[in-house]
Copies of this chain bind each other. A is one copy, B any other.
């Protein structure tokens, strides 16, 4: 059985499509008897309203787009969950497209979302994104865009972020307070603002504690993976046998570090302390459990959606508004991979 159309209902009942449509929506100018007949038939034939047609009239699709760098990723999964939970409450649908950290794919996905006429777009930049023309063009078309996590100051739009520099400062400072003096940093790629900020937070903590910053204590990830943490851990021990602390850009990398140090029978935290960033699920489960910075993924997702909806409404009502940057709090989670103070 194919889907029943409004027109078929109208034909069967000998009514106009307009009358049928109004009856289904309980318009006051349709008689109760007509409403009853229409609704009975609609139910009998399993009629489902044509959502696209509704969208045509309101000029809204009640659909938003979400571009994320990586789908299989604890932090981004939480952001997705936060966005779709909020979207559901307002009956918005979310189209999720991955950029796989590729600049080219990010551009393609953005154009696809625009061509599908989503009401707004939420995105986190790919690691390989080096210019922002594609995003600024979308904003110029008056389509609201919200950036989160991996943002650029060169895009003029609202942003939902954490204070990466402060959080990384706190992480590094915790290592120093627990007695670490030779601290390596496994950083993210050179482009993303959050990887720059976490590096600067690390550097600031060293400076304020009169520990000399040495560039050969910094290792740069390309993919920000478990494998890179695993490999850099071995390299760090080789380059600096007296290392006593490692601050990794994310828990995934830190988990690779812990796995390798365990294999090398290096005691954590007695010989080397390890701190991560983001509080992934696995950080509770590894041995030793990982001290880290909690990054509120669910709340970031929820804030992205509510900010986007605000801007969609402003735009609909032709209200001027200012872009907002919302900074959500992080916190230090002390577990067993660092020493007690």
Contacts and interface: CB of A to CB of B under 8 A. Distances in A.
A282 interface: yes
A42 interface: no
Interface residues of A, number: 54
Nearest to A298: B72
A52 B55 contact: yes
B71 A142 contact: no
A97 interface: yes
Contacts of A63: 95, 116
A14 to B, nearest CB: 25
Interface in A285-332: 285-287
A123 interface: no
Interface in A33-84: 46, 48-52, 55-56, 61, 63, 71-74, 77-78, 80-81, 84
Contacts of A78: 72
B71 A84 contact: yes
A112 B93 contact: yes
A255 B280 CA distance: 14
Given A2-B142, A141-B1, A285-B259, A52 B56 contact: yes
Contact of A259 (B50, B97, B284): B284
A-B pairs, 9 with minimum CB distance: A287-B287, A282-B282, A72-B77, A71-B81, A255-B285, A51-B116, A51-B115, A93-B95, A48-B114
Given A1-B142, A52-B61, A93-B116, 4 more contacts: A50-B117, A256-B285, A281-B282, A286-B287
12 contacts: A2-B142, A48-B111, A63-B116, A72-B77, A93-B95, A93-B97, A93-B116, A255-B282, A258-B285, A262-B287, A285-B286, A287-B287
